[in-house]
Structures are given as C-alpha cells and as structure tokens.
Amino acid sequence: MKRSVIIVRHAKSSWSDPSQPDFDRPLNDRGKADAPVMAKRLLDKNVRIDAFITSPARRAKKTAALFAEVYGKDKEHLILVPSLYHAEPPDFFKAIMQAPDQAATIAIFSHNPGITAFVNMLTKVNVDDMPTCAVYAVQCELDSWTGFETVHKDFWFFDYPKSI
C-alpha cells in the first residue's frame, strides 16, 4: 500500500513575552496566517491527510489544528505525542511507526532542529533548514507503519510559505 508522510515544522511563533516558557509560546499573526495557506496548498496538490500527529507544545498543536481545520477536521482529531517536543530523529521514527495503520497519509508537526535532521535522513533530497511552516513529504510502499524506519522512501515534495 502506498503511504505518505507529511512532515511540518510549526508555524511562526511569538517571542513577545520573554518570560513565557518555550512550551507555551503561541503562534504570531504570520504563523496564524501561514498555516492555513500551507494546508490549502496541500489540498491543491490533492494531498489527503488521514491522521494529524503533533507535539503537544502550544505552537505545534495550533499549527496542526489549523491544518486540520482546512481539512474539515476538529482539534479532537489531533494525536498528541509528547516525544515530538525537542524530538530527535529516533522520536520521529517511533511516532510514525505507532501511527494508525488505517491512515494512508499522516502529517507530523514538530520543531527544529530535530525536524531538519529527521527529514535529511529520509531521502537523498536534503534541506539546509526547515523554515517555519515548511512541509517535507515522502512516500513509500508499506503494509504497516511499523516498518517505516527501514523501508525505502521516495521524496515527494518540499514547500514553505515564502517559496512563491
């Protein structure tokens, strides 16, 4: 079965309150505008998302919620994975390998620097940096998500808000 993973760095966050814990930082106005635009770009490419898997940090969760909203889903459809906050590549693999098998396409929402390190492990198409709200997508042939780490992955596309 063809499966797709859409890897999304959270949208632009606010630094207006330096005393605010990193985990609780919200999206700024640009981030709130960019997330639905990027989700709409995916829809325009006929990308279907069956599961929205996100870091529980406020900015990642809000980015995922804005994507889900464009897809006609509410925030109850978000799957929160605590290890996606300050994630290293093994954390991404584990989260994906635990995804529901009925989902052919999943979206993972997380943070730098781990997200850039992770996407650069997947295919020969590397990126210098995953800008905020960037989307990196891969596809593979797989019966179950449990085999994602070792299966061959094909680069599908890379997009980010300022790319056009």
Q: Is the pLDDT of residue 72 over 90?
A: yes
pLDDT of residue 38: 98
Question: Are the CB atoms for 140 and 3 separated by under 8 Å?
Answer: yes
Question: Are the CB atoms for 132 and 5 separated by under 8 Å?
Answer: no
Helix 114-122 and helix 89-97, axial crossing angle in degrees, nearest 10: 70
Structure tokens at 150: 């070792």
pLDDT of residue 77: 86
Confidence of residue 76 (pLDDT cuts 50, 70, 90): confident
pLDDT of residue 148: 98
Q: Which of 78, 75, 72, 141 is nearest to 106 (CA)?
A: 78
Q: Is the pLDDT of residue 71 over 80?
A: yes
The pTM for the full model equals 0.96
User: What average pLDDT does the segment 58-82 reach?
Assistant: 95
Domain ranges of the chain: 2-163
pLDDT of residue 14: 94
Confidence of residue 74 (pLDDT cuts 50, 70, 90): confident
Q: What is the pLDDT of residues 108-163, one digit of tens each?
A: 999 999 999 999 999 999 999 999 999 999 999 999 999 999 999 999 999 999 88
Q: What is the pLDDT of residues 14-69, one digit of tens each?
A: 999 989 999 999 999 999 999 999 999 999 999 999 999 999 999 999 999 999 99
Choosing among 3.40.50.20, 3.40.50.1240, 3.40.640.10, 1.10.645.10, the CATH entry for 2-163 is 3.40.50.1240
